[in-house]
Structure 1
Amino acid sequence: MMIEKHISDLLYRYQCVTIPGFGAFVTEIVSAQVNGSAATFLPPRKIISFNPNIKNNDGLLANHIAQREKITFEKAVALLTQKANSWIAELQQHNSVSFPNIGNISVNGEELNWIFTPIDSVNYLTSSFGLTSFISPEIKREVLKAIEEQPVFEKIETSTTLVKEEEEDTKVIPFEPVATKRNFGFARYAVASIALLAAMGTYGYKMYYDQQIATKTLIVQKQVQEEVQKKIQEATFVIDVPELSVSLPIAEEKMPYHLIAGAFRSEENADKAVRLLQEQGFQPNKLNRNKYDLIPVTYGSYKTLEEAEAEKVKLQKEVNAEAWLFIE
């Protein structure tokens, strides 16, 4: 049975996948980026990290394995415990543990700390399915060399010499036919005057038409106001209107993102946890009993994923490193 494959399948749908007694793989959504001078464009994706401090069994991985492998929940938990112990033994012997399509866990030789190296070849963000990274090549521009031109006076001298040589060789006597020039100046002025008069006439007619429309509009508005005043004076404003009580349903604001403080099988313990969190300044809430017969208690609930992620980071740093995000 490949437990690593089941972990990989759950990372597409959940923010945190916990291996009981071993640790948890946590994902964080990162927007599109441009890296390096080679202009490498990266699509939006999930960055995977490993937290060895989250070891409590939330039932997510065990229930998934039980459904996929057609075994009982208790047997799935036993298999996970056995596998986790074998991984811990490998790391104690300074061997690395590989999780296909997720990453590798190795041990620091000096401090014996676990070091997780993620694999970036798989994007677990389903909204970016089909998007891959690409490199935009550098645009090379051609530099055109300036062409040196000959001085103008040299061209003039050359053309003058060619003309003189041609005249001497051909000896052609130039002849210009006498043409009668007509004076069209008066016609130009006449056309311009006609166009100006036509434009002035059109503008004057438009002003007259706009003035007539404005006058008629004022007359109509005055008549309407007089009719309204007349109706107001004739009316009697004694109207008995029964009071209407209309109750409109108020839509509850959905907050599907919950930061989980703990899950309890006893409702009494869940109530104690809620009172304790209220004394600490949180706004806790009890969620409905889940399919594992547990009652989750939250630090708080939020409308957007960004708000919940920001609060989760703050909680893990200041209050509880094992706080995790649950999405309804």
Structure 2
Amino acid sequence: MTLAKYISDLLYRYECVIIPNFGGFVANKISAKVNHFTHTFYAPSKQLTFNSHLQNNDGLLANYIATTKNISFSEALLIIEKEVENWKFSLSKEDLEIENIGSFHLNLEGKLIFNPTTTVNYLTSSFGLSSYVSPAVKRIAYKENVKQLETIAPILPSKENKKKTPLFIKYAAAAAIIFALGTIGWKEYQKFEYNNLVAQSEQQQRKVEKTIQEATFVISNPLPTITLNVAKKTYNYHVIAGAFREPANAEKKLQQLLEKGYNATILGVNKWNLTQVSYESFNSKNQAINKLNTIKKTVSKDAWLLIKEY
């Protein structure tokens, strides 16, 4: 399984997936929309953007790879590092295409330019919905109708109609003016709608970046590789063995616990920039407390219980 597949799986569940030393993919939810020129209707979706400043490892992608492939956290990091090196090497020569994500190329200033895919909708609530085209409603040809009416019922000169313009001619003229004004107004509306969408996208991305700086990601129930509609356990209770400033120390602690037979996990970086390592994680509070009491009596009095709500 390539790195693109793991990223794609996570984008169905999270608003941001960071690839260490490369950048982060941010998914912003957008409402249903219609293209008035092609008469195409689109379902609600997630709009992918790329932020090259999000390069610090938050543990999300590495934990998912480690759990899915049943390997250590450090081995998962090596897989990511190798894939990123291949991406950067490809970009130095040609455009980079990431399956179901989008494509990259370098501009004249050497900056990454991202073009997201339009064939995949990462919004699970829109699963099964696709775009469709509705034929345009043809406008009435007012001039032709007026000519036909004049042929069928010609206007005879009289004192009254010499002074007054027939009503249907007034209506036809008014309709022509409204149509012309509507065309100009519609172009301005389209321009306003596009600018508004860009502003909303930038605002949502800033909000997601702020959330990323404060959040701690935990992956203990990876997605199935075939279908998304499978019930999964959520482990909210974690018996913490320690929190480390240096990621290398956290990895060392993890290996020690694994050698002792614990189902240990690196939970990622918390808001104090400390990497947390757990002895084990549970979906039952009673089981977690029982395990905590056992560890405090036999292993370490410094163990404590972390409760996370998802």
TM-score (norm 2): 0.49
Structure label with greater radius of gyration? 1
